[in-house]
Structure 1
Amino acid sequence: MPDSRSGGGDEERVIFRQYLDAVGLHGLAGAEAAGLQSSEWYALSLITQEGSLTSGELATRTGLTTGATTRLIDRLERAGYARRTPDPTDRRRVRVEPVPDALARVEEVVGPARRRLGEVLAHYTPDQRALIFDYFTRAAPAFRAATEEIRAAAPRRRTRGTG
């Protein structure tokens, strides 16, 4: 978030906060429209980006316990979004991969955002878009690192619906 060290004033902080809130709200609405919990929506995004992940990799990336991750994978399978497949390099391991036919449903859900953001980006020059995507490239790992800091500092709480 912009702060006094980066030259960001109160107005910039408010604008940035509104942006983050809108992105978060869209993620929640997307999960709901797909019939998923937010953790399942995020896990499906990870699986789709990577092509497949082991349950351990998925647990690490989501911050869930292995038991919660197993239940999450069970729910993704029941919903028809993912499936377990044998790991081709280690038959003792199982990988979780997206079900290609089900991803059309996800595309329907994210279609309006893609269209609207495409319209927004069309107003920028190629150089400006390069700067925006440079920010995304740098900001995503910064947010992931901040997430890890939050998780490390916060006491582990067990609440319903976290996995």
Structure 2
Amino acid sequence: MSTPEDASRVYRRYLSAVLLHGHAGARACDMGATDLYALNILELSGAMTPGELGARTGLTTGPTTRLIDRLEQAGYVRRVPSPNDRRKVIVEPIGQPARLDEALAPARRRIGEIIGGYSPEERKVLFDYFARAARAYQDAAEELNAPS
């Protein structure tokens, strides 16, 4: 990589591959990519209101309700009353697709081999980048989704 343009292309190719893999993993589990993404959000962040899930997935109210309906019907989430406000419900994860680990295993193995080739110091930098970049992307998404 000799120029910033080359670096940008490499990074964009990486992000496209990650998204493509997410779609392929979802299809392997007979799900839509947004459904699998929502399950991942719930697994990482814990139970939340439908509004919070909608905000995190970028969906409006109607599509969020249909998403939760699909996930609930498939046995991956359940709606429970909010302990703080009886008028609200909380969506909590209760399962994941049976084939998910199997579908993601090849990529996890390959990425594990790549990361395993780095020194402990290099891995520390990689994981620092992952954590900081995740926050940067979340902040940027919130800015893009903020009302004008």
> 1: distance between equivalents of 2:147 and 2:106?
37
Q: Does 1:86 find its partner at 2:81?
A: yes
Match of residue 44 from structure 1: 39
1:129 corresponds, among 120, 123, 129, to 123
| TM-score, normalised via structure 1 length | 0.79
The change in CA–CA distance for 1:42 and 1:8 in structure 2 (over 3 A counts) is: farther
Match of residue 60 from structure 1: 55
| TM-score, normalised via structure 2 length | 0.87
1:119 corresponds, among 87, 110, 113, to 113
Structure 1 counterpart of 2:138, which letter?
Answer: R
Q: Describe the SS at the equivalent of 1:53.
A: coil
Q: Does 1:70 find its partner at 2:44?
A: no
Unaligned runs of 5+ in 2: none
Match of residue 19 from structure 2: 24
Match of residue 133 from structure 2: 139
RMSD: 2.2
- The alpha-carbon deviation at position 8 of structure 1 amounts to 5.2
Q: Deviations over 1:32-83 (max 9, x none)?
A: 1122222211111111112211111111211211221111100111222211
Unaligned runs of 5+ in 1: 1-6, 155-163
> 1: distance between equivalents of 2:145 and 2:85?
31
Q: Describe the SS at the equivalent of 1:88.
A: coil
Match of residue 109 from structure 1: 103
- The alpha-carbon deviation at position 104 of structure 1 amounts to 4.4
Q: Deviations over 1:106-162 (max 9, x none)?
A: 2222222221111111100111001001111111122223333444599xxxxxxxx
Q: Does 1:14 find its partner at 2:19?
A: no
> 2: distance between equivalents of 1:153 and 1:21?
27
Structure 1 counterpart of 2:43, which letter?
Answer: T
Q: Is the 8 A contact 2:29 2:97 kept in 1?
A: no
